[in-house]
């Protein structure tokens, strides 16, 4: 179990690079150049984070909680079938928590839907065109 947790933590750290918009090389991009365009992207992303900031659980925390609950429910069903309720429920919750944490760590590297929309609109107002996110 400890090895699995360390593996999940390593994957989460590797994924922390996060996503950012990739710009179409239109006239505005060509005129500004990659350095100015990158600074504009960072500025818009920062503004988006401040605008969307809210008091809620992070995506990683939400996924971990949901994973633990799902795993416990699956463990309950298995426990009812096998007759070893206590062990299967706790094992299911632990496995669900690890899976949820891994899923949450991946989700945490993607910007919130509103952050993305805000960033894309901010960049459009500056004359850029967003192709996608990577």
pLDDT score of 95: 64
Residue 128 placed within a domain: yes
CA atoms within 13 A on the CB side of 107: 16
> What are the backbone dihedrals phi and psi of residue 24, each rounded to the nearest 5 degrees, phi first?
-75, 135
Instruction: Tell me how far apart the terminal alpha carbons of the chain are, to the nearest angstrom.
Output: 32
Pick the range with the lowest mean pLDDT from 30-34, 53-57, 88-92, 126-130.
53-57
pTM passes above 0.85: no
Residue 1 placed within a domain: no
Query: In the predicted model, what is the mean pLDDT of the chain?
Result: 76
3-state secondary structure of 130: strand
Boundaries of domain holding 98? 20-133
Residue 89 placed within a domain: yes
pLDDT score of 18: 84
Number of domains in the chain: 1
Residue 10 placed within a domain: no
Both tokens assigned to 53:
């900031």
- Reported as a pLDDT band with limits 50, 70 and 90, residue 36 is very high
pLDDT score of 69: 72
pLDDT score of 28: 97
């Amino acid at each position: 179990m400890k090895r699995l947790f360390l593996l999940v933590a390593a994957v989460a750290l590797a994924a922390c690079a996060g996503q950012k918009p990739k710009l179409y090389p239109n006239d505005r991009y060509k005129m500004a150049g990659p350095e100015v365009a990158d600074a504009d992207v960072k500025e818009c992303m920062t503004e988006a984070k401040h605008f969307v900031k809210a008091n809620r659980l992070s995506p990683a925390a939400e996924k971990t909680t949901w994973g633990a609950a799902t795993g416990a429910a699956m463990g309950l069903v298995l426990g009812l079938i096998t007759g070893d309720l206590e062990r299967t429920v706790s094992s299911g919750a632990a496995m669900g928590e690890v899976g949820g944490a891994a899923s949450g760590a991946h989700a945490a590297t993607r910007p919130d839907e509103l952050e993305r929309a805000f960033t894309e609109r901010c960049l459009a107002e500056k004359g850029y065109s967003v192709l996608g996110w990577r």
